[in-house]
Amino acid sequence: MKNNIFKLPVENVPLTVNYYKEYLGFKLINGVPKFGQMDFALMQFSNHSLLFEKATESNIDFNISDIVLQVNFDDNKMKKLYNNYKQKVRIKKEYSVNEKGISEFSVQDCNGNIITFNGCVDYQLESRF
């Protein structure tokens, strides 16, 4: 799977970084301080990166409110992730398996964005994990 990068303008970059790190398990790759606080941050989860930047008048119209993160997780790993998240964050769509056998669920982050975790497994890659 290729690495996808989503850009999200947020009101408070440090608060968002803390939320994604503490509650969703993202890793901080890079943060750029400007004027004494972090104005940009790049975080990663599985094969996806999120670029948070301080919301301004020029970028607020670019706001994405729904993101689908397609992760290379089998059903058991997706259930474990869901059970971990449901103790910590607001679940917007309960864990389910669709008609194609793909498991998914959605959470709402601290900025109101909906993040959907979609466990589409590439079986050739699965054997390496």
pLDDT value at 34 more than 70: no
3-state secondary structure 59-91: CHHHCCCEEEEEECCCHHHHHHHHHHHHCCCEE
Q: Which of 3-7, 35-39, 74-78 has the lowest mean pLDDT?
A: 35-39
pLDDT category at 126 given cuts 50, 70, 90 is very low
128 membership: H or E segment, kind and range: none
Question: pLDDT tens digits, residue range 72-92?
Answer: 788 888 999 999 999 999 999
Task: Please name the residue ranges forming H helices in the chain.
Answer: 13-22, 75-86, 123-126
More confidently predicted of 50 and 35:
50
pLDDT value at 53 more than 50: yes
- Residues 70, 77, 118, CA angle at the centre, nearest 5°? 20
At position 36, the amino acid (one-letter code) is: G
- Residues 51, 53, 55, CA angle at the centre, nearest 5°? 140
Domain spanning 4-126: CATH superfamily: 2,3-Dihydroxybiphenyl 1,2-Dioxygenase, domain 1 (3.10.180.10)
More confidently predicted of 128 and 91:
91
